[in-house]
């Protein structure tokens, strides 16, 4: 049975398996590179990226949501990043739930350096696709349910 003969749902299953495989492959390569080049982990990198993107910081709830992980997992990461001076907690008097975490200046500088290299790794991993194909793929992926960006 050729690809063209497969039923619509089989073709969708094949797309899902390719999506998963591409995602896992890229994530594995990036995980190994942030470890060897920056001595850090992808979850830490993702926390820094989310805080960087936010500008003036996020509540723990917003951060968990941005990372699609549980609050519990984020708390430990934030504790360590705070100890290392990359992240600071910003409290709001009388409103514990409004407390935010944000990058320190040093955290911003360090993240920008890592992000620039990370961006080049991603470009390299997607290097077989032309600019037009990149745009096509982006538009198609943006239409998968639940992906609202």
Binding site for its own copies (CB under 8 A): 3, 8-29, 68, 119-120, 122-123, 125-129, 131, 133-138, 140-147, 149
Rounded to the nearest angstrom, the gap between the alpha carbon of residue 83 and the centroid of all alpha carbons in its chain is 22
Q: Which is nearer to its own copies, 28 or 90 (CB)?
A: 28
Q: Which of residues 73 and 120 has its CB atom nearest to its own copies in the complex?
A: 120
What is the distance between the alpha carbons of residues 57 and 59, in angstroms, rounded to a whole number?
A: 7
In whole angstroms, how close is the CB of 28 to its own copies at the nearest point?
7
For the bound state, the minimum distance from the C-beta of residue 98 to its own copies, rounded and expressed in Å, comes to: 27
* Shortest spacing between CB 108 and its own copies, in angstroms: 18
From the CA atom positions of the chain, what is the Rg in Å? 19
Nearer to its own copies, 13 or 98 (CB): 13
Angle of helix 71-83 versus helix 60-67 axis, rounded to 10: 110
35 vs 80, which CB is nearer to its own copies?
35
* Tokens found for residue 62: 């917003």
Q: Return d(Cα 19, Cα 26) in angstroms, integer.
A: 11
């Amino acid at each position: 049975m050729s690809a063209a003969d497969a039923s619509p749902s089989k073709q969708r299953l094949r797309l899902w398996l390719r999506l998963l495989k591409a995602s896992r492959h890229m994530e594995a390569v990036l995980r190994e590179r942030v470890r060897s080049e920056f001595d850090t982990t992808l979850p830490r990198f993702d926390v820094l990226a989310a805080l960087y993107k936010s500008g003036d910081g996020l509540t723990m709830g917003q951060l968990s949501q941005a990372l699609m992980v549980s609050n519990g997992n984020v708390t430990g990461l934030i504790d360590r990043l705070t100890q290392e001076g990359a992240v600071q907690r910003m409290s709001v008097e009388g409103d514990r739930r409004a407390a935010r975490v944000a990058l320190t200046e040093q955290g911003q500088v360090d993240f920008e350096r890592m992000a620039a290299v990370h961006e080049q790794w991603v470009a390299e991993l997607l290097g077989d696709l032309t600019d037009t194909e990149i745009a096509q793929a982006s538009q198609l992926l943006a239409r998968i349910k639940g992906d609202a960006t």
